[in-house]
Structure 1
C-alpha cells in the first residue's frame, strides 16, 4: 500500500475561545492529517519544514508512529498560529508567523521530483505556492487530494482552480464550498467532500450526492484540526477498501472524537 505524503505545515498554535477554552498546543494540517491517516492504518509522512524549536518531534511519544523521512529541519522558528474562535467553533481571526515554512514550496517541489508516483494530500495554505506544487503533481500524473483553510481559502482556491479537476478529492467546509462555487463549476470535480461542523458531511461526485453522514454529538473542546482529522481518516480507510459511505461515517466519528479530546500538547525536548 502506497504511503500518503502530506504537504503542509506543522506549527505551534495558540487557540482562543470566549469561554476560556483553548491553549498553547501543537498544530498544523500536515501533522493532523498524517496522524489521522496513521491511526486509521495508512502509513503517512508529513512533507514539512521543522524549525529548531520542533526538531525533536520525530522522537516524541505518540508522534514517533509517523514516517518522518519526508521532513527537513532548518535553523529558525517553526510556523506559529494564533487562532480565535467564537462559541460555535467558527474561526473569527488568525494571526500567523510562517517562520521556516517559507521554505516549504522549494522542499515540496524537490520531494515530488524525487517521488513523482507517490500519493499526496496537499494542505493548500500559505506560504505554499499551490500553483507550482499542484501543477507539478498534475504534470507527473500523481494521485493527490487537497484541502483549504478558511482565512486564505479564497486566494488559494483561485490559485488551485486549474488543477482541481485533476484532484482525486477536494475537501472543503461549507463556507469554503461557497467560495469554490464562485471560482469553478463544481459539477466538473471528480469528488468534493463538504463538512459543516456538527451538521451532515456530504460527498458529491460530478455534482451528484453519493453519501452523507452526521457526526455523533460530542461536546467540543477544540475544533482546530477536526477537518484534517476527517480527511486523513477517510483517505486511509478508502485506501484499505472501505466504501465511501463507510469511510465517511467513520471519518466523521473520528473528527467528532477529536473535537471532544484534549488538545495535543507541545512535547518538551528530551534531555540527555
Structure 2
C-alpha cells in the first residue's frame, strides 16, 4: 500500500470529460478528433513531467483508449467505463479562433459527478484539477474538495462559464490556481473579489498571458507565434503544462513561459485522431 499511496500523491487527478469532437472553421479546417479537457490537460501535464490521470467516464465507443499507444503515457486508473456513448461536441469557430457555437451530447458523462465524488472520497490527499464544465455539479465537487482540505485548481469553458463561475464562486478562494481566458476573467471579476484569489492565469489567444496573485500581476508571457491549425484544447494544454511545472517547483514566470510555448506548439500540430479499436 505505501507505494500506491505515494503514486497518487505524486500525480494530478483531472476531473472532466473525454469526448468525440467535431471542429469547424470557415476556411474548412477542423474535422473529427479526440477531445475533452480532461484528456488534453492530462496529456500536457504528463508531457511536462507530472503523472496525470483523467477522472472521467468513457462510453463503449472509447473503451479502447487506454490501449492506444499514443495515450499509454497516461494513468487510466481513475476512469469509469460505462455502457453507452461518450460525450460529443460540435464546435464552430471563426477565423480568429473564437468559439461561435457549440452543440453537445453528454452521453455517459451524466455519471461524472457521482464518479468524481467517489474518487475524491477515496483519494482525499490527491492533487486535483476540476474542469468546470457541464454536466459536472461543480458545487458538490468543489464543496467536497474544500471540506477535505484537498489541493485543487479549476478552469472554465466560455459557453457555460457564467453559470459555472457563479456556482463555483463560494469555493474559488480556496483553489490554488484558476485558469480563465480574457472573456471569462470579466465574468469572474463580476462574481468574486479577485483580490481574494491566490493565483489566476488569464490567457488571451495569441496575446500575452498573465498571472495575477491576489489581484496583482506577477508574471506575463507572450506565446511564440505559430500558425493555428486547431485551437480547441489550447487552453487545456496551457493549464496542464503550467500546473506540472508549478508542482515540480518551477517559478511562476518559468511555468507560464513553458505553458504558453506548449499551447503555441499545440495549435500548430495535427489534432488527435480518433483511434480505431484493436482487433483480436
Determine the C-alpha separation between the residues in 2 that align with 1:254 and 1:148: 19
Structure 1 residue 61: Cα displacement: 1.3
Which ranges in structure 2 are unaligned for 5 or more consecutive residues?
A: 1-8
1:100 matches 2:108: yes
Matched, 1:42 2:50: yes
Q: Match of 1:191?
A: 199
Task: Give the Cα separation in 1 of the matches to 2:178 and 2:188.
Answer: 10
Out of 35-44 and 237-246, give the one that drifted further.
237-246
> Could you tell me which of 142, 145, 152 is aligned with 1:144?
152
User: Aligned residue for 1:5?
Assistant: 13
Q: Per-residue deviation at 1:81?
A: 0.1
Deviation at 1:66, TM superposition (A): 0.2
Give the TM-score of the pair, scaled to structure 1: 0.99
Count of residues in correspondence between the two structures: 272
SS in 2 for 1:62: helix
Displacement of 1:10: 0.1
The whole-number CA distance in structure 2 between the counterparts of 1:215 and 1:61 is: 29
2:172 aligned with 1:164, yes or no?
yes
Q: TM-score, normalised by structure 2?
A: 0.97
2:36 match: 28
- Distance (Å, rounded) in 1 between the aligned partners of 2:166 and 2:276: 39
Alpha-carbon offset, residue 241 of structure 1: 1.3
Give the one of 247, 266, 269 matched to 2:255: 247
Q: Once the two structures are superposed, what CA deviation does each residue of 1:109-147 show, in whole Å capped at 9, x if it has no partner?
A: 000000011100000000000000000000000000000
For structure 1, which runs of at least 5 residues remain unmatched after alignment? none
Distance 2:99 2:82 in 1: 30
Separation in 1, partners of 2:255, 2:121: 31
CA RMSD in angstroms, aligned pairs only: 0.5
SS of aligned partner of 2:39: helix
Q: Distance in 1 between matches of 2:18 and 2:145?
A: 21
